[in-house]
Amino acid sequence: MKLHEFTASRAVAAIRRCEVSSEDLVRALLARMEAVEPQISAMLHVDAEAALAEARARDAAPPSGPLHGIPIALKDNLSVRGQPCTCASRILRGYRAPYDATVVEKLRRAGAVLLGRANMDEFAMGSSTETSSVRATRNPWDPARAPGGSSGGAAAAVAAREAFAALGSDTGGSIRQPAAFCGCVGLKPTYGRVSRYGLVAFASSLDQIGPLTRDVRDAALLFNAIAGHDPHDSTSLSDAPADLSSALGRGVRGLKLGLPREYFLKGIERDVEESVRRAARELEKLGAEIVEVSLPHTEYAVATYYVLATAEASANLARFDGVRYGHRAEKPSDLLEMYGRTRAEGFGAEVKRRIILGTYVLSRGYHDAYYLHAQKARTLIRGDFQQAFARCDAILTPTTPTPAFKLGEKMQDPLQMYLADIFTIAVNLAGACAISLPCGFVVRETTLPVGLQIIGPWMREETIFRIADAYEQATAWREEAPPL
């Protein structure tokens, strides 16, 4: 097996046995990038010399943290002191972060090496990575198809073996949906379990940072490293998360797993549904009990999300005005023209669309009709999950209604693009935790992965990892790799 094909866990073990060095791993991944990046375009910024220098420093020190010497990629909305942080937007070109995000500090303490910055939809607004102002990322399984979004670059880098693991952000499915499209594992933790300090905000009540990895064990390794309370984040939970390694290998015997009837209706492709139902049968064979549950307000999730998320985006993105950092329009006649031209030149079409929509739903005369109603609907959606979890330990759903769609297929139809996240959005609205992992393949012109989503109660990541690990160990989907 070549070095770039290692999982993060295997790479950790190899370093501890002195079979490889961190520098060996970084060089292997840089060579892999050179070979496949022209086809994939997953990365926006890689400082090879800085990564090699960091790796040499790790090699010169005795192994300490659980990620000692392991190269990790970061989505381009996470702050790293002195590095670009553009959110794939023209408005932040030239900006370099003046501080480290909390998750970056924790990765460093765990011994990780920061490999580079992955492409994304502009300001995390999109489901295909096509709204990036730099270029679109391509799916490693079929370069004619989208890798998902908004963490599409991170998912593609992991799937293409350009990184052992990556951190992304998930506001309405932006880790889980690209994980499903690219055939890797993606975790959206409970809201507040991972600090958002240093994450460029899209929708502050929905955003959450999580790992993208090649298998469930690696996802547990990264979550253990980044989770925990942070006084810099007022929404950070004070409860210390359990060590997820204790959840692995326990099996699913005695657990009740719910299948929500609202997630298996018109709109889901038959092959995707069958893959998920087959996964449920496999878990039943392993000792779990499968029960039907209902999430009756699911049909309102997309509309609720696009009112609340855009309202928060309108407020959060008001700071990008050309005054303090980033792009500034040249030779404006006055201050108002500078604001207007800076934002018109700096933001892409999808970001403008969401700012306008968010400003509208917050405006006088419409706040109660839209924003207030959406908050009430959010409460009902959260209540649906509370009632469902009273009947089961976790919920099984498809991660996406279809496999990866073709690049350009949905760009002219925003509603169809938004519906790509129909099975992931409600989890963010409820603040619960969820993980996506491969559960099969479908054949179109090429072979494409299908994702199984396991949704767990608040602060019960160990439950969804227990289920995901049991399923992964009983199947061989994780062993498949894109035909690059």
Q: Determine which one of 41, 133, 150, 275 is catalytic.
A: 150
Give the other-Cβ count within 10 Å of 340's Cβ: 15
- pLDDT, residue 484, reads 87
Q: Determine which one of 9, 22, 41, 75 is catalytic.
A: 75
265-291: per-residue pLDDT in tens?
878 999 999 999 999 999 999 999 999
Strand locations in 201-345 (E): 209-213, 256-260, 289-293
293-315: per-residue pLDDT in tens?
999 999 999 999 999 999 999 99
37-76: per-residue pLDDT in tens?
999 999 999 999 999 999 999 999 998 899 999 999 999 9
Residues with Cβ within 8 Å of residue 458, at least 6 apart in sequence: 190, 431, 432, 433
169 tagged catalytic: no
302 vs 298: CA distance, rounded Å: 8
Superfamily of the domain at 3-256+469-479: Amidase signature (AS) domain (3.90.1300.10)
- pLDDT, residue 64, reads 84
Residue 111, token pair as written in the block = 């011994």
Q: Determine which one of 79, 132, 174, 275 is catalytic.
A: 174
174 tagged catalytic: yes
- pLDDT, residue 390, reads 98
Residues with Cβ within 8 Å of residue 127, at least 6 apart in sequence: 121, 146, 148, 149, 150, 173, 174, 177, 410, 417, 418, 420, 421
256 burial type by CB count under 10 A (0-12 exposed, 13-18 middle, 19+ buried): middle
Residues of the chain with pLDDT under 50: none
75 tagged catalytic: yes
- pLDDT, residue 271, reads 96
Strand locations in 278-404 (E): 289-293, 394-398
- pLDDT, residue 408, reads 96
- pLDDT, residue 4, reads 98
Q: Global pTM?
A: 0.97
- pLDDT, residue 43, reads 98
Cα-based angle 173, 149, 380 (whole degrees, multiple of 5): 20
Cα-based angle 276, 281, 286 (whole degrees, multiple of 5): 125
401 vs 268: CA distance, rounded Å: 4
